[in-house]
Amino acid sequence: MSIPNKIFTLVLITLILSGLFLFYKLPNNWEYALERRSFKVASMLIVSCCIAYSSLVFQTLTNNKILTPSIMGFEAVYLLFQTLIVFVYGDKTFQVIKNSDNFFISIGLMMLFAFLLFILIFKRGKSNMYFLLLIGLVLGTLFGTVSSFLQLVIDPNEFLIIEGQMFASFNKINTDLFWYALAFMILSFIIGFRQIKNLDVIALGKEAAVNLGLDYDKTVKLYLFIIAVLVAVSTALVGPMTFLGILVTNLTYELFKTYKHSILIPACCLVSCIAVLGGQFIVEQVFNFNTTISIIINFVGGIYFMFLLLKAKKI
């Protein structure tokens, strides 16, 4: 099957799943239900595209197909902040900090964390990217450990508040936050797609990219900043979805045997939309909201991640 036909098939499946999600078992008050479902579908599409774009570009920058931006510690920063505010304010958390304030503070902290990493690391030697990954992994583990400790010492009833933030959910999205997230995503995509051909050059490796005249460090910094924005927005909007990036990017590589990011990125966004729409439909219609989409995604993605490790070991 040719690439245009594959893209068309993915678009068709996305539209079918969107329609199924919107119109399946509509209640009597269908106008209200359709409005809520439309908003939820749009939110899922935004998060799917943010995670797909950031994961695929991150793998290109690191030249590694089993890494995602979560290794940098962004999600750990998010969970640490959510744990800290509950630890300090207890059951009065949402009376003190509104959802919109929580959203922007979470994004601000994740962006500050990324900014400090980039400023500190890129002043050093040649292996900046790998050193960046190492520092991000260590700090992410540290923040996760601190979060776990605080979660153990707080009141069990207050822990339930944190638990709601630990798993991705599309049932808690504020309408105002949706529009902010959409604006962040569109702006990031516009900036990123203007230099999308540079990603094809970066995929050849640093030495080849430099020899071809690309300002490698400047381009990498730009895309790392875009990745940080997209990860921060998707995490602050619905919560962490660790293994979704690994799952959808590698499925895209299997479906599309091409190096062109102008094809890979849109295709990966479509695959991600299909995974999230399908997963959320299963959560609502099969499990009747007794689980969350992040659990399903992490379960499937974790198994696929192990498969990729075993496959790489054989090679």
pLDDT, tens digit, 9 for 90 and up, residues 106-132: 888 888 888 887 777 666 555 567 777
Q: What is the helix, strand, coil percentage profile of the chain, to 5?
A: 80, 0, 20
Residue 65 has pLDDT above 90, yes or no: no
Answer yes or no: pTM beyond 0.75. Answer: yes
Cα–Cα dist 263/31, whole Å: 37
Paired tokens of 93: 């958390």
Q: How many CA atoms lie within 13 A of 22 on its CB side?
A: 14
Residue appearing with tokens 């090679």:
315
Cα–Cα dist 240/296, whole Å: 13
55, 231 contact by CB (below 8 A)? no
- Mind listing the pLDDT tens digit for each residue in 238-288? 878 777 888 899 889 888 888 888 899 999 999 999 988 888 888 888 887
Range of the domain at 73: 3-314
Q: What is the mean pLDDT of the chain?
A: 82
Residue 138 has pLDDT above 90, yes or no: no
According to the model, what pLDDT value does residue 315 have? 55
According to the model, what pLDDT value does residue 10 have? 92
Domain count, the chain: 1
- Mind listing the pLDDT tens digit for each residue in 178-195? 888 889 899 999 998 888
Give me the CATH number covering residue 191: 1.10.3470.10
Cα–Cα dist 214/52, whole Å: 25
According to the model, what pLDDT value does residue 280 have? 85
Whole-number percent of the chain with pLDDT over 90: 13
Q: In this predicted model, which residue has the larger pLDDT, 52 or 100? A: 52
The C-alpha angle 70, 72, 78, rounded to 5 degrees, equals: 65
- Mind listing the pLDDT tens digit for each residue in 35-50? 888 888 888 899 999 9
- Mind listing the pLDDT tens digit for each residue in 202-231? 888 888 888 888 888 888 888 888 988 888
A 10 A CB-CB count for 247 gives: 25
Residue 237 has pLDDT above 70, yes or no: yes
Paired tokens of 268: 């990966």
